[in-house]
Amino acid sequence: MSATTNISRRQFMKAGALAGGGPLLACHLPFGMRDAAASGEAVFAPNAFLRIGTDESVTVIVNKSEMGQGVYTSLPMLIAEELCCDWKRVTFQSAPVAPEYNHAQFGPIMVTGGSTSVRSEWERLSLAGAAAREMLISAAAQRWKVAPSACRAENGIVHGPNGKQLSFGKLASEAAKLPVPKVPKLKSGAKKLLGKPLHRLDSPAKINGTAVFGIDVTAPGMLTAVIARPPVFGGKLKSFDAAKALASPGVKQVLAVDAGLAVVADGFWTALKGRELLEIVWDEGEGAQVSTSSMHDQYKALTATPGLVARRDGDAEGVLAKAKQRLEAEYEVPYLAHAPMEPLNCFVDLKEGSCQIRTGSQFQTVDRNAAAGVVGLKPEQVALETTFLGGGFGRRACTGSDYVIEAAQIAKVVKQPVKVIRTREDDMRAGYYRPMWFDRVSACLDEKGLPLAWHHRIVGQSIIAGTPFESAMVKDGIDDTSVEGAANTPYAIPNLQVELHSPRNPVPVLWWRSVGHSHTAFVMESFMDELAHQAGKDPYPYRRSLLAKHPRTLKVLETAAMKSGWGKPLPKGRGRGIAVHESFGSFIAQVAEVSLDKKGVVKVHRVVCAVDCGKIVNPDTIKAQMESGITFGLSAALYGQITLKNGRVEQGNFHDYQLVRMAAMPKVEVHIIDSQEPPGGVGEPGVPPIAPAVANALFAVSGVRMRSLPMTPEKIMTALKKG
């Protein structure tokens, strides 16, 4: 069975739906197993996540979205380790939207995000594999009339006394008749798969072109739609003339939807041509007044006023008021687009009493329920199939299910299968974004040059306010995602106060890879470097002296410094910068080596990364995700910015929203700390430290302190001229 084998939701639920064997193993439906056997689909399905066929196939049902981070390999590894199967027989399938696949930590919702896939599923999937192993061993023991303790499983075979052997496939039917163990026992001793570098299971399909992404979905009779959207956020459709568009060959329909005006045609390019022929009058409203420059002034003014207190240790304000010398700095980072390589898209096939959705979703339960509300069906009448995602970074986990709702609204009118596609420009200009942030930080030092007081005001939009999650995630007006990484800093600072302002405006914002840590790490680690310079101390040992009570943070800091050759001479014209940060249960330190040319262009030559993410599943995945996070964060640090003028987003494609290209990519070295701590995330934690590491290295080589991102040549040359 190939990794891309198609199976309907009905077939899957018939063969392996589960309902009862303990809280962590989902449910076992004996009648479902009998139905499968009667239909010639004999399969061993002890829980929602695993099926073993008589053909020796081992299929793991994965309840997380695969968007390049490797969950279609790491999660099957958790089951396979405890199952003791033949890894060469393991394949995967995407899970349907069902309660059995809800997030193990986030409650009744199926979602991929927060770097929680391995963290949330480690125990549940390990137990699922262990339960199946015990059932297979029991089936063999019954056939041989021996005690289960006399048998063992290894590489897909149960071994018994006197050299007896039976494969998992030959035991599948008998094992299916046994009760699911309520408390299966996990293996002890060395791991066979976990901690080993295994090739990804999804790579072959992506290499040979058989992998199906949302944008690849097609169906008989399918139409394609694109949407003309207001030029400013909050704009409304006032009037339109669609005569020219409707006269264009292949255009079938033009209809108003919440997002704007949809052009439905027999193909993407036909729809796009039709959209170009629309004559539209928009009511732009207050959104036309929004600009980056005015927001900058507003945010800066707010940093001069008290905000809501997110953390208060000691008396930072009092100590600073009495300090003879204090250091103060302002930091600013812009709006950022998620910019996945695959633009947003969604396929909907609406029929009487049922609806099929095929899309790359990170938010399956929310998206399915939103679509059901639009088309007037019950959620259980809507089947959402999660395709491969060509990047997500949080954008495909939108609390408003925007791109899914658009497709459902269009499908409801056209009454044919329809796929809605955004162009790259649509994707970049229609939102959502990582918020723009402005910070003001003040500090003073003690007699040893260490921070005695630190006062920090943060200004930026909340990504949670106004969403269905506000009541659960915003406490006393404070969105924790806005202050994470600052309010929980590990540095020993006796007097610390962190405050927050959360202004609102029409620009739609959303979590972006590493969320609040993406901006707080830049400020915290840059300003810590400034304090070290003010104290006349090396920034690496300066940090070490403040981390004595945080051994894991200290360990990655020391490892990155040692592996980078910190303190050793560099080639002329290069500087080193260091940064360390904890996020999503993982600890990351990075050292960047940079140079600066005469035109103000920063060249990052080398990045050394040390990571402690607790227990390891696949080191290749960890390495790849650190490299990916560094690349993603470096793109933002050097180039990324979404700016608005007269309410209009000024960027639209990769020519003016640049990503790191191969010629600019540094050499990246990843060093993984051996740890038996609980597993942490790896998809997001590699992003936060890179911007401050590069900024600190730039200061080391040039004396220019960049407090505003991105670090463009224009900004750097201006700073150099100012001296």
Task: Dump pLDDT digits (tens) for 571-618.
Answer: 999 999 999 999 999 999 999 999 999 999 999 999 999 999 999 999
| Joined tokens for residue 105 | 């930590």
Domain 293-335+433-722 classification at class level: alpha beta
Rounded distance, CA 304 to CA 248, Å? 56
ω into 639 cis (within 30 of 0):
no
Confidence at 36, pLDDT banded by 50, 70, 90: very low
Query: pTM of the full predicted structure?
Result: 0.93
Single-letter code of the amino acid located at 225 = A
- Give the residue from 233, 252, 247, 250 showing the smallest Cα distance to 279: 247
**Centroid of chain to Cα 85:** 30
Confidence at 396, pLDDT banded by 50, 70, 90: very high
* Same topology between domain 9-208 and domain 293-335+433-722: yes
Average pLDDT over residues 253-276: 98
Confidence at 107, pLDDT banded by 50, 70, 90: confident
Please say whether the beta carbons of 47 and 25 come within 8 A: yes
pLDDT at 17: 28
Average pLDDT over residues 33-54: 69
Rounded distance, CA 288 to CA 232, Å? 6
Distance in Å from the first CA to the final CA of the chain: 65
Please say whether the beta carbons of 482 and 439 come within 8 A: no
State pLDDT tens for residues 633-674. Answer: 999 999 999 999 999 999 999 999 999 999 999 999 999 999
- Could you tell me what percent of the chain has a pLDDT over 90? 93
**Centroid of chain to Cα 83:** 29
Buried residues in 402-422 as b, exposed as e (16+ CB within 10 A): bbbbbbbbbbbebebbbbbbb
State pLDDT tens for residues 411-426. Answer: 999 999 999 999 999 9
Single-letter code of the amino acid located at 577 = G
CA quadruple 303, 305, 310, 313: dihedral sign: positive
| Joined tokens for residue 69 | 């981070």
Average pLDDT over residues 105-131: 96
Whether 366 has a pLDDT exceeding 60, the answer reads yes
Is residue 331 helix, strand or coil? strand
DSSP state of 642: B
State pLDDT tens for residues 268-278. Answer: 999 999 999 99
Confidence at 723, pLDDT banded by 50, 70, 90: confident
CATH 3.90.380.10 fits 214-285+344-421, yes or no: no
Average pLDDT over residues 329-354: 98
Rounded distance, CA 160 to CA 140, Å? 8
pLDDT at 347: 98
Confidence at 43, pLDDT banded by 50, 70, 90: confident
Range with the poorest average pLDDT among 8-12, 413-417, 506-510, 614-618: 8-12
- Give the residue from 30, 3, 2 showing the smallest Cα distance to 16: 30
Rounded distance, CA 702 to CA 686, Å? 26
Rounded distance, CA 513 to CA 103, Å? 19
Beta bridge partners of 644: 649
Strands 223-228 and 418-421: parallel
pLDDT at 10: 30
Confidence at 42, pLDDT banded by 50, 70, 90: low
Whether 515 has a pLDDT exceeding 60, the answer reads yes
Neighbour tally for 102: CB within 10 Å = 18
Domain ranges of the chain: 9-208, 214-285+344-421, 293-335+433-722
Rounded distance, CA 544 to CA 557, Å? 8
Write down the architecture of domain 9-208 according to CATH: 2-Layer Sandwich (3.30)
Whether 18 has a pLDDT exceeding 80, the answer reads no
Q: What average pLDDT does the structure give for the chain? A: 93
